[in-house]
Chain A
Amino acid sequence: QVQLVQSGSELKKPGASVAVSCKASGYTFTNYAINWMRQAPGQGLEWMGWINTKTGNPTYAQGFTGRFVFSWDTSVSTAYLQISSLKAEDTAVYYCGRDEYGGRSKLDYWGQGSLVTVSS
């Protein structure tokens, strides 16, 4: 069965970096894009962008350029989100979601979420 399994919770200090992983199984990894979403405590979902798992080409939403980097490793069917120079406002649950290519807006499988807490 299709699964996206994310890495665990992280507690980081301001200015540090963090990496969140999203391991796919149950399907051919490169046949679907991986999208990343953020949900701050008590807030709604924000679309951060996506990575083309065939080519590794990332696309970032406004507000998620510079400190946010999407990467992938097809050999282990895993996508990664790296956030550098962490700020308190980066505290959130980060989700990965699988999507068909072509912008069909069909995020049919999601990871369980990874909580990143930024606090001194």
Chain B
Amino acid sequence: QSALTQPPSVSGSPGQSVTISCTGTNSDVGAYDRVSWYQQPPDTAPKLLIYEVSNRPSGVPDRFSGSKSGNTASLIISGLQAEDEADYYCCSYTSSRTYVFGTGTKVTVL
């Protein structure tokens, strides 16, 4: 199972919006609405931001939103803040009844 493809880095100024893509296949992202997103600040465990494509756990700001079209899922961060600087990973359930993570994206706040 190959890792899902994410851009290595995205950047934006405070207050701007950034979008991180996560491209898979019709055996994972395209097959199920079971895509999640995780935020990982340096030297910290990942934190769940979005599950089942677009659902936010309680406590996650509504600046974070998710969507999916075909084999590509997206995480949108609106109103970018300095504290959003971190690595972000997508994850999808697969037709093999396994999970696969994305390659990871570093978000830089300019």
Interface string of A44-67 (1 = CB under 8 A from B): 111101100000000101100000
Interface size, chain A (Cβ < 8 Å): 23
Residues 8-60 of B contacting A (Cβ, < 8 Å): 32, 34-36, 38, 40, 45-48, 51-52, 57
Q: A35-B99, A44-B104 are in contact. Are A107 and B38 (CB under 8 A)?
A: yes
Number of A-B contacts (CB under 8 A): 69
Do residues A112 and B45 form an inter-chain contact, with CB atoms below 8 A? yes
CB distance from B48 to the nearest CB of A (A): 5
Give A89 to B101 CA distance when docked, in angstroms. Answer: 19
Give A103 to B93 CA distance when docked, in angstroms. Answer: 6
| B89 CB within 8 Å of chain A | yes
Interface residues of B (CB under 8 A from A): 1, 3, 32, 34-36, 38, 40, 45-48, 51-52, 57, 87, 89, 91-93, 97-104
